[in-house]
Amino acid sequence: MNDISVILTVWKRNNLEYQLKSIYNQTANIADVYVYQNESHVDISGLKEKYNFKHVHSKDTNFKFHGRFTLPLLFNTKYTAIFDDDTIPGPKWLEHCEELCEEKNCIVGANGRNYKKKGYDCGGGNNHAIKCDIVGHCWFFKTEWVHYMWRDKPPTYDNGEDIHMCATCKIYGNIDSYFASQPNDRPEVWGDTEQHLGQDDHAQYKKPDHTDFRWSLYEYWINKGWKTT
């Protein structure tokens, strides 16, 4: 198996130790774990003494959703996996991602959505990988692909990093996105084993203008040449 750089994120949720345990329990070959922290709402200093991760801390500025996607520009590993702060993968998730990434030459995610199906959620209980326009919760990809993302500045940094990544990789590299198979009887390959963690007050989908705002981002990248499925 090839080496993987893992990026975890911290803002206001206090799930980091839970995530670290799940990452260090992975069967895949992990080279480094980076914790990308926006501001200082959560004290993770004690965890630095318990776990072997590299801490990237933006103390005074919140670089929001996109900041973590700049780190892979500096990585030498073949793969990168970026996790949302509410996502707890099963122990074989990254190994599962690597296999699909190699098979389909694609970005792999723990859930997915298709523009033409008006937000159809590809998630949970699927026995086969599903091609999607965008994937989320986790993004597993060949590290070199992140250069496609940063060919274009996003229209906003307030949201839409998932659309930005998947759209530009499709536009410039013809790289598809797939929601990995996650059969009900194989929790070890699930991308997110604790989905309730994403239902708190920090969840972006609970914002009143979230859907319309996201729709405008889809349209922006389609106008830039993105061919959706």
Q: What angle do CA 47, 31, 86 make, to 5 degrees?
A: 50
CATH code for the domain of 151: 3.90.550.10
- H or E segment and range at residue 7: strand 3-10
Q: What angle do CA 175, 74, 9 make, to 5 degrees?
A: 80
Residue 229 falls inside a structural domain: no
pLDDT value at residue 206:
46
**Closest to 174 (Cα-Cα) out of 114, 218, 227:** 227
Residue 140 pairs in a beta bridge with 81, 108
Residue 131 falls inside a structural domain: yes
- H or E segment and range at residue 132: strand 130-132
Residue 228 falls inside a structural domain: no
Residue 60 falls inside a structural domain: yes
Domain coverage including residue 202: 3-223
Residue 47 falls inside a structural domain: yes
Residue 24 falls inside a structural domain: yes
User: What is the amino acid identity at position 4?
Assistant: I
pLDDT value at residue 115:
87
| Domain count within the chain | 1
CA distances from 85 to 115, 144, 196, 218 (A): 24, 23, 12, 23
Residue 49 phi/psi, 5° resolution? -80, -20
Mention every residue, 6+ apart, whose C-beta is less than 8 A from residue 52: 33
- Say if residues 224 and 152 touch (Cβ distance below 8 Å): yes
- H or E segment and range at residue 99: helix 93-104
Tell me the average confidence (pLDDT) per consecutive run of 10 residues in the chain, 229 residues long.
92 95 97 97 93 94 95 98 96 98 98 76 82 96 98 95 98 97 96 69 54 91 95
Q: Which residues of 79-101 are buried (b: 16+ CB within 10 A; e: fewer)?
A: bbbbbbbbbbbbbbbbbbbbbbb
